[in-house]
Structure 1
Amino acid sequence: MDQVNLDGAVWRKATASGDNGQCVEVATNLPGIVAVRDSKDPDSPALIFTEDEWVGFLDGGGQGVNVATSPSGLVLLRKSRNPDGLALTFTDGEWAAFWDGVDKREFDL
């Protein structure tokens, strides 16, 4: 599932991110999946979630998405089923802007 062609992805960030180039970017336009990347490094790999994983994550009770805080205070996002795999790292401000967008339902399917 994680090897997906993302050429057609339409990347969006939360409106709370404003013109800040550092943010969580989400593509919900691809059939059956949701892709998440870090705008600071758009050429790096994206995390790929199933629609069910994404909906569960946004609702707060789903499995498949792991969020942790590093000792330095950064937020780490990764797939639960691959805890040693790719992790995206965000600052508190980036994560807060993302959750503002979640609260406003900007990333719903």
Structure 2
Amino acid sequence: MIEESAFRVPETELERARWHKSTYSGSNNGCVEHSVLASGRHAVRDTKDRTLGAHTFGPEQWRAFVAAVQGGSL
């Protein structure tokens, strides 16, 4: 499991983010969006309920997550 210590990204950074819908999102509304923030952190949010906010990850944690998904362990 990949854990990230509590880190608050300024709300203004999330508001200015350029979000992209995941290419792995299906047609069943199970969609997520990803953004690389100005700080270099990565953010992920639920497309259908953006009011829930976003989870953010540092570059190392993001690389580990992507490697785990590509390797089939997630």
Partner of 1:4: 10
Runs of 4+ in 1 over 4 A off after TM superposition: 18-21
Equivalent position to 1:42, from 18, 41, 50: 50
Corresponding position: 1:52 with 2:60: yes
The percent of aligned pairs where both chains have the same amino acid is 35
Any residues of structure 2 matched to 1:64-103 within 5 Å, and which? none
Indicate conservation of the 8 Å contact 2:45/2:55, yes or no.
yes
**Is the contact made by 2:37 and 2:43 (CA closer than 8 Å) also made in structure 1?**
no
Q: 1:57 to 1:18 in 2, by over 3 A?
A: closer
Q: Distance in 1 between matches of 2:28 and 2:20?
A: 13
TM-score by length of structure 1 reads 0.46
Partner of 2:23: 15
Q: Provide the TM-score with structure 2 as the length reference.
A: 0.64
Q: Which moved more, 1:10-19 or 1:33-42?
A: 10-19
1:28 aligns with 2:36: yes
More strand by proportion, 1 or 2? 1
Offset at 1:21?
4.8
Give a deviation string over 1:46-92, Cα, whole Å, max 9, x none. Answer: 101111110111112xxxxxxxxxxxxxxxxxxxxxxxxxxxxxxxx
AA aligned opposite 2:8: D
Q: 1:59 to 1:31 in 2, by over 3 A?
A: same
1:57–1:40 distance in 2 versus 1, CA, 3 Å: same
